[in-house]
Chains A and B, each alone.
Chain A
Amino acid sequence: EDKVVQSPLSLVVHEGDTVTLNCSYEVTNFRSLLWYKQEKKAPTFLFMLTSSGIEKKSGRLSSILDKKELSSILNITATQTGDSAIYLCAVFTYLYNQGGKLIFGQGTELSVKP
Chain B
Amino acid sequence: GAGVSQTPSNKVTEKGKYVELRCDPISGHTALYWYRQSLGQGPEFLIYFQGTGAADDSGLPNDRFFAVRPEGSVSTLKIQRTERGDSAVYLCASSLIGGGTRSTDTQYFGPGTRLTVL
Contacts and interface: CB of A to CB of B under 8 A. Distances in A.
A and B interact physically: yes
Name A's interface SS.
Answer: strand
Contact of A99 (B41, B56, B114): B56
Interface residues of B, number: 31
A50 B104 CA distance: 9
Q: How large is the interface on A (under 10, 10 to 19, 20 to 34, 35 or more residues)?
A: 20 to 34
B42 A92 contact: no
A50 B102 CA distance: 11
B30 to A, nearest CB: 11
Given A41-B112, A88-B43, A106-B40, A96 B104 contact: no
Contact of B91 (A43, A92, A101): A43
Nearest to A94: B99
Interface of A: 4, 6, 31-32, 34, 36, 40-45, 48, 50, 88, 90, 92, 94, 96, 98-107
